[in-house]
Chain A
């Protein structure tokens, strides 16, 4: 493979990129996607806001609550926490508190149906731990904001109570309340300590999974665009003219990079709009949707080297699938044959993506399974999995670098092998070729024979 084989790829790249973005159907699809990204954040914020009770303080200046029945299933009152603390706020100071003992919650619940100015404060243990349930009757005159206000006061006062009782701060208390596990670490050659039985949290798994899905979209979108573009050049006979100025390699390379950039731009702008929308939502609606929805600590491993290597992996993966797509496109004579020709590419993508998906699931249990190593090192699956692995900060460095090296070598091998095959295929107008014929062409190209 000579440098001259790539001469003119930048012109192909520019033209392909500009014409892709000028395409009307592409633009309509993009605009729809951008509108969805921009407006989904405030809409989701509104929807989730109306469904979920907030713990923020809703200060109210008057209340209809006359009586509050306290049902304490957890016996918090026995350890010294007094639910009546909410009466420290002036607005609630005249509320009559009645502690219920030895009476079932359901009986009290029936009772407040006939008392529109009464509420129940139910201290209970549920699936997600302890909770303060503030219950109103069907005909209640008590507003939701009053209940929220009481709830937020109770949460705040209970936190203060915990610090006083245990003599700790918020961070220490959070650490004490966390689930603990024992991890055995082993020192690596580079001085890093790696756990053999380490695994990732559910939050990180979803992050890897989401990233895998985004990369799969980039790969499938850009590779199908490359195949379509090459097939279009052939079916419209423009190829014949283009080849007087550029080599087939430059043509395919320019198209692969253009469609990769185009797809990344699509997603980048969509994500950017989502972030801008989140900032505006936070400013005008007082709610940072992403901050409240994304689990904490998810971005702590997103460092510059990790991001650079992750992007490199994605780029190499897109190129790998792009070159294969270029070969699929070069195999057809007319556009109608493209679908059949793409079957090999689709199969490879599905195998690669599913392998990565199963490996990411296994990462919740262990990072040393053969499936994990296979998916990280195999070039058809590594572009989907490795970026996520890097950005959540797991896996040994040697493995990540080896995976990138394998991907790079395979890219070069496929590029070199396909350089001559493109020349043979791109002007081929014989009978319809099947994927197995591609290997025949590759063998002939390797042997220096013509088809």
Chain B
């Protein structure tokens, strides 16, 4: 079993919105499709799902041209949609029917997911005091979060073999975020192919093994997340010392003395860029020699967030690099004057 996208291209007029996208999944798991707004993620997903005609390229499933309409694919779109004035149960049964699920089986699954996603009070409300069944709930009577749960139900109602989740956790409160995460974990455990698009990098790191970062339709970074991180090396040093104005000034001096660059200086913590473990150890020794009380000393790889920002938002310069750049610009100005 494998899933592969080869040289996918899509243009609108002269604008190339997806430029030769390639990705491959050799085994079930979660693949992250990342990028800023307008990077081409949703267009790529729509082409994978066969909603949009592609200009060129191939989408293969088990080495054969993928036919999304005849496959069992679950899709949670970024732009959530439900009919506001139709009964929720009717809509779910309709979506299930379109996926080829019989009415009785669909009802069984709706009951399961309704219970799992804590939606019973909306989908199967209890009878009132007079023993009458209340009117079926409509989508516009639900909160945004609950509507999102109904959408997730719609995506999962056919028990899909292939799942595409576009921003699954956006707009959810922490409790429902955890609930969604649990459900997604359960689906991953069933050996499903999942493509996830999200702006929440910690979530992506939590679930995904492989990533592709798109920027203006072009692939700017691709591969296994762990390997990507390793390739960057452990160059991020986080140092937190006991708060003391005098001591902090001393730390500043020691950083300068060690020739390190500060990426970010927080009130009680430094984010420092080092060249490697040796330089970090040398700085640690310096701190110990000066009797600085160290609360946190962590050397780690860059986070996905940092990698993402670097790739699509440009390289994040250190403070010194910023100052040097400013000085250089000022010098140019003086020369011009």
**Residue ranges of A at the interface with B (Cβ–Cβ < 8 Å):** 4, 7-8, 11-12, 14-15, 18-19, 22-23, 232, 236-247, 420, 423, 427, 450-451
Residue of A nearest to B49 (CB): A244
Is B113 engaged at the interface, CB distance under 8 Å to the other chain? no
In contact, B81 and A246 (Cβ under 8 angstroms): no
Instruction: List the B side residues contacting A242 at CB < 8 Å.
Output: 98
User: Would you list which residues of chain B between 214 and 257 have a CB under 8 Å from chain A?
Assistant: none
Q: Given A11, A23, A423, which contacts B53 in the complex, CB threshold below 8 Å?
A: A423
User: Would you list which residues of chain B between 1 and 60 have a CB under 8 Å from chain A?
Assistant: 10-13, 46, 49, 51-53, 55
In contact, A7 and B90 (Cβ under 8 angstroms): no
Q: Which of A7, A238, A247, A427 has the most CB of B within 10 A?
A: A238
Is B165 engaged at the interface, CB distance under 8 Å to the other chain? no
In contact, A451 and B12 (Cβ under 8 angstroms): yes
Q: Interface residues of B, CB < 8 Å — how many?
A: 32
**Residue ranges of B at the interface with A (Cβ–Cβ < 8 Å):** 10-13, 46, 49, 51-53, 55, 68-69, 73, 75, 77, 79-87, 90, 94-95, 97-99, 151, 154
CB B77 to nearest CB in A, in angstroms, measures 4
**A241-B75 Cα distance, complex, nearest whole Å:** 7
In contact, B94 and A4 (Cβ under 8 angstroms): no
In contact, A8 and B53 (Cβ under 8 angstroms): no
**A105-B22 Cα distance, complex, nearest whole Å:** 104
**A242-B94 Cα distance, complex, nearest whole Å:** 10
CB A88 to nearest CB in B, in angstroms, measures 71
**A239-B79 Cα distance, complex, nearest whole Å:** 10
CB B54 to nearest CB in A, in angstroms, measures 9
In contact, B98 and A243 (Cβ under 8 angstroms): no
Instruction: List the B side residues contacting A22 at CB < 8 Å.
Output: 86-87, 90
24 pairs from A and B in contact (CB 8 Å cutoff):
A11-B94, A11-B97, A11-B98, A15-B97, A22-B87, A23-B85, A236-B81, A236-B83, A237-B77, A237-B79, A240-B51, A240-B75, A241-B95, A241-B151, A244-B51, A244-B73, A246-B69, A420-B53, A423-B51, A423-B53, A427-B46, A427-B52, A450-B10, A451-B13
In contact, A450 and B97 (Cβ under 8 angstroms): no
Residue of B nearest to A445 (CB): B53
**A241-B99 Cα distance, complex, nearest whole Å:** 11
Q: Given A4, A239, A451, which contacts B81 in the complex, CB threshold below 8 Å?
A: A239
**A163-B239 Cα distance, complex, nearest whole Å:** 125
CB A444 to nearest CB in B, in angstroms, measures 10
Q: Given B79, B90, B97, which contacts A240 in the complex, CB threshold below 8 Å?
A: B79
Instruction: List the A side residues contacting B46 at CB < 8 Å.
Output: 427
In contact, B99 and A245 (Cβ under 8 angstroms): yes
**A239-B83 Cα distance, complex, nearest whole Å:** 10
Which secondary structure characterizes the binding site on chain A? helix
Number of A-B contacts defined by CB within 8 Å: 73
In contact, A423 and B52 (Cβ under 8 angstroms): yes
**A4-B12 Cα distance, complex, nearest whole Å:** 26
In contact, B98 and A236 (Cβ under 8 angstroms): no
In contact, A450 and B51 (Cβ under 8 angstroms): no
**A333-B73 Cα distance, complex, nearest whole Å:** 26
Residue of B nearest to A426 (CB): B51
In contact, B98 and A246 (Cβ under 8 angstroms): yes
CB A326 to nearest CB in B, in angstroms, measures 17
CB A32 to nearest CB in B, in angstroms, measures 20
Residue of B nearest to A8 (CB): B98
**A362-B187 Cα distance, complex, nearest whole Å:** 70
In contact, A450 and B11 (Cβ under 8 angstroms): yes
**A271-B80 Cα distance, complex, nearest whole Å:** 42
CB B42 to nearest CB in A, in angstroms, measures 9
Instruction: List the B side residues contacting A423 at CB < 8 Å.
Output: 51-53
In contact, B94 and A15 (Cβ under 8 angstroms): yes
In contact, A240 and B12 (Cβ under 8 angstroms): no
CB A101 to nearest CB in B, in angstroms, measures 80
CB B285 to nearest CB in A, in angstroms, measures 58
Instruction: List the B side residues contacting A18 at CB < 8 Å.
Output: 90
CB A16 to nearest CB in B, in angstroms, measures 9
Given A236-B81, A240-B77: A19 touches B86 (CB 8 Å cut-off): yes
**A450-B99 Cα distance, complex, nearest whole Å:** 28
CB A333 to nearest CB in B, in angstroms, measures 12
**A7-B52 Cα distance, complex, nearest whole Å:** 17
Instruction: List the B side residues contacting A420 at CB < 8 Å.
Output: 53
Ranked 8 nearest A-B pairs via Cβ = A237-B81, A245-B98, A238-B81, A240-B77, A237-B79, A243-B51, A15-B94, A244-B75
In contact, A238 and B82 (Cβ under 8 angstroms): yes
CB B270 to nearest CB in A, in angstroms, measures 45
In contact, B90 and A19 (Cβ under 8 angstroms): yes
**A14-B10 Cα distance, complex, nearest whole Å:** 35
Given A242-B98, A245-B69: A450 touches B83 (CB 8 Å cut-off): no
**A247-B70 Cα distance, complex, nearest whole Å:** 11
**A242-B75 Cα distance, complex, nearest whole Å:** 10
Residue of B nearest to A246 (CB): B98
CB A87 to nearest CB in B, in angstroms, measures 73
Q: Given A14, A237, A450, which contacts B80 in the complex, CB threshold below 8 Å?
A: A237
**A451-B15 Cα distance, complex, nearest whole Å:** 11
Q: Given B53, B68, B86, B94, which contacts A244 in the complex, CB threshold below 8 Å?
A: B68
